[in-house]
Amino acid sequence: MINYSKTIVFYEIFFGILVPYAVDPANQARLGITDVQKAELLDLKSDWDTAYKKYIDPTTYGKLSIAVINKSYKTSHIFTDGLTQQLKNNKSIILSNLDLIVFNIHVDNPKSKIKAPSVIPTLVLRSTTHLNSEIQAINAEDPTSAAKPPRVKRLKIIMLVLDANAVPPTIDMLKPEMESGYMRFDIPHTEDQVGKIAYVAACFSNDTGDSEYSAILACPII
């Protein structure tokens, strides 16, 4: 059985909903999405559709299709993250509940009576395959459970890729990479990162705040 990347499959669903919603003329105008952004979004989606079709087809799945889809993911993910942040930061826009869902925008609520997570995750590298690192987050207070701890909505994952012979980074050097609603997640890599080390850390998060970050996990990229 092919072990498809959950991150890639989930992004296919997210991207497939976001693009038609964002380029709808009424939504585009209301959300302040420019024509340039619309054109780039459609180009990225076209490239993604071509790459994903070959990736998900068992007859064309392989190192080449993995490399192409991972590159498309990195490019598209950076763009959609930027668009999401743009909407979140634009105080002149009143976002609807549907907007928040489609763009996966989390509304911070520091005054909530729900406390920010206090438990710190422990990261374990479950497997390393071609251009992919699969990682398990463990709740130190209940290490046998696969469920998120109470009050935790998501994991925030930060990462930095360095040459194998480089000095390992400190936590403040890692950059936001992705978020996951699951304790087990995978990170797609690109061909130019082969032979390097992905340094990964994560924290537990809810709408009130975040826990401290985990210790840094070193993941070789093959």
Residue 168 above 80 pLDDT? yes
Residue 121 — pLDDT band, cuts 50, 70, 90? very high
- Confidence class for position 190, pLDDT limits 50, 70, 90: very high
| The overall pTM is greater than 0.85 | yes
Q: Considering the chain, what percentage of its residues have pLDDT values greater than 90?
A: 92
How is residue 175 written in tokens? 């950059």
User: Mind giving me the DSSP string for 103-159?
Assistant: TT-----TT-SSPPP-S-EEEEEEEEETTEEEEEEEETTSTT--SPPTT--EEEEEE
Residue 135 has pLDDT above 80, yes or no: yes
* Sign, CA torsion 144/150/153/158: negative
Q: How far apart are CA 178 and CA 111, in angstroms?
A: 25
Whether residue 221 contacts residue 193, with contact meaning beta carbons closer than 8 Å, is answered with: yes
Question: What CATH class does 121-220 carry?
Answer: mainly beta
